[in-house]
Amino acid sequence: MEKREALYSGKAKSVYRTDDPDRFVLLFRDDTSAFDGEKKEQLARKGMVNNRFNAFIMEKLEAAGIPTHFEKVLSPVESLVKKLDMFPVECVVRNYAAGSLCRRLGVEEGQALQPPTFELFLKNDELHDPMINESLAETFGWAGADDLAQMKALTYKVNEVLKKLFDDAGMLLVDYKLEFGRFNGQIVLGDEFSPDGCRIWDKETRKKMDKDRFRQGLGEVIEAYEEVGRRLGIQFD
């Protein structure tokens, strides 16, 4: 496999073409951003930590029967993935109230949510990723009804697998965001699963161990990501 030119550089990762038209290389950078790119910093080791973290989680999900784009780790900060035709939507599941849900509905942070909620957002930085629903997605062609039903079912299946994984390691999976795409007609999980795109709290103390440490200026951001990884049994360099 040969890495070719960069196709796209996002807020945290860069996407490269390869000599295989169906495969991309994802490069996890140390760049960290929040509030639609208003707050930006380089956090040493983040690219490596998230690349390893994502590989570990994607392998767990594959083993549980969830199709993912992940193929293999290529270097400390790079992974080979299937090239997906991405849906411009973000699927968010919440087990506890936090973040935009609290701001939007005035509910208290930490409230357990039963059943866990499912929300859809449009991936559009200029519009600040507005909340949408199935009807809007279908009407505007962002995803079809069948696609959405499958994404929702897969997003909840991920919850069953990961809630237990984190719980067994002394942590609460508070919420997370997933992105899906199409590969040979199949709906496949893409992008990444790392502490950048989910909320994880210590089960006993409810200490925040995710990107909220960066958003809220709590410090020791990557130390917390590595602690989450170590508890799950991930080896970092």
67 versus 99: smaller Cβ distance to ligand UDP: 99
Q: Which of 206, 214, 157 shows the shortest CA–CA distance to 11? A: 214
* By the rule CB under 6 A, 199 interacts with ligand UDP: yes
Residue 52, judged by CB atoms within 10 A of its CB (0-12, 13-18, 19+), counts as buried
List of residues 6+ apart from 11 with CB closer than 8 A = 31, 33, 37
* By the rule CB under 6 A, 81 interacts with ligand UDP: no
* By the rule CB under 6 A, 13 interacts with ligand UDP: no
211 binds, among ligand ADP, ligand UDP, none (CB under 5 to 8 A by kind): ligand UDP
> Residues 116-145 vs ligand UDP: string with x where CB under 6 A?
-------------x----------------
* By the rule CB under 6 A, 197 interacts with ligand UDP: yes
159 versus 194: smaller Cβ distance to ligand ADP: 194
Judged by the rule CB under 6 A, the positions of this chain that interact with ligand ADP are 8, 10-13, 15, 24, 69, 81-84, 86, 179, 181, 190-191
Strands 186-190 and 198-202: unpaired
DSSP secondary structure letter of residue 208: B
According to CB under 6 A, which one of 96, 176, 201, 225 is a site residue for ligand UDP? 176
Helix, strand, coil shares, percent, the chain, to 5: 30, 35, 30
CA distance 2 to 4: 6
Residue 118 φ/ψ, nearest 5 degrees: -130, 125
147 binds, among ligand UDP, ligand ADP, none (CB under 5 to 8 A by kind): none
Name the residue with the smallest CB distance to ligand UDP.
Answer: 99
Among 23-31, 61-69, 96-104, 136-144, the segment contacting ligand UDP (CB under 6 A)? 96-104
82's enclosing H/E stretch is: strand 78-82
The SS3 assignment for 158 reads: helix
According to CB under 6 A, which one of 198, 209, 221, 222 is a site residue for ligand UDP? 198
CA distance 54 to 61: 10
* By the rule CB under 6 A, 213 interacts with ligand UDP: no
Binding site for ligand UDP (CB under 6 A): 90, 92, 98-101, 129, 175-177, 197-199, 211
